[in-house]
Amino acid sequence: MKKLLHVKLSLTIFITLIAMSLLIASKFEFTQMTRPQPVFADGTPSDTGPTEEISDAVKHMIESSTNTTSMAQLRKFPYPYDAMLAISSDVDYATVEEFETYHQFLNTLEQTSHGPGLGLDIGDSSWFYVANDSLMNIDKEEHKVEHSMSYFQGLDSNTLKDADKITHYYKVGWIDSLHSFGDFSRSDQGIKFTRALAVDAWKAMNDSGFKPKVWINHGSESNVQNFGAYNPNNLFKYQAGDDPKSPYYHTDLTLDNGIRYVWNSIGMSQFSYDNPLFPIKLRDGKQVWGFNR
């Protein structure tokens, strides 16, 4: 009797499972039949299964990402500008008073002795030493060349002259370049620059935070600290700043301390350039970016 009941129970369970499977299968088939089918462009139903509609904007994005010719290009200048004007200013014969007067007019919106300030972003250059032996007057007060704005007094790196002013104006953006280490132009053609002066200058710059990235060559053949255009066959044969064999060599210090851009003394008459930068290979094997002016 127990064996008969066990067989009946097993048969009932088996029949129930078959019925449930048939019910699920029929429901799935009905769902597939009643679900809207995607249609191709020619109007025929698709047999590849349902897909979601893709918006035109998404399609355009996908096409653009796979089409290299339509990818956005980086502009040389922020929109809507097509060019820029760069001003490179040499500090020759400028006193602190003159420097402050014309930069107040150029860089601020204040009322100045020259009229309302222009509010422009214009930087200037500076130097550390003045060894120029000229007797000329450099302003209406008849100051001589030694009154020119400089970090140190003359060639004495132990005596500060306009150091605080130069550091301040560098930090506010009125000074952005180094007009070499100083004014070493001399009528007697004597050489006053030494590597030791360069060492003292870079020590002062590192201590004060005055670290420009732009170097502008200066002056006559007695400015042996200049570099970047050396040629034994022309007037630039005096440049010795990048010659490791010279006692005036300093570009190992100068480039390691942050100088990246150099005007090498070659003046150009061309006004505009597609790219004003060009590489300069120095005699010590280092490379900097030159710029035209």
Crossing angle, helix 163-171 and helix 96-107, to 10 degrees? 10
CB 229 within 8 A of CB 236: yes
Q: To which residue do tokens 């809207």 refer?
A: 36
Q: Extract the tokens encoding 178.
A: 């180094």
Residue 177 β-bridge partners = 125, 214
Numbers of helices and strands, H then E, in the chain: 6, 12
d(CA 223, CA 200): 17
Q: Sketch the domain layout of the chain as residue ranges.
A: 2-70, 96-291
Give the torsion sign (CA, 277, 281, 287, 293): negative
CB 108 within 8 A of CB 119: yes
Is the model's pLDDT at 54 over the cut of 70?
no
CB 255 within 8 A of CB 289: no
Is the model's pLDDT at 48 over the cut of 50?
no
Half-sphere exposure of 106 (CA within 13 A, CB side): 15
Q: What integer best gives the mean pLDDT of the chain?
A: 85
Is the model's pLDDT at 3 over the cut of 80?
no
Q: Which pTM was predicted?
A: 0.74
Instruction: Name the band, by pLDDT with cuts 50, 70 and 90, for residue 62.
Output: low
CB 122 within 8 A of CB 89: yes
Q: What's the pLDDT at 203?
A: 98
Q: What angle do CA 191, 279, 251 make, to 5 degrees?
A: 35
Q: To which residue do tokens 């222009």 refer?
A: 118
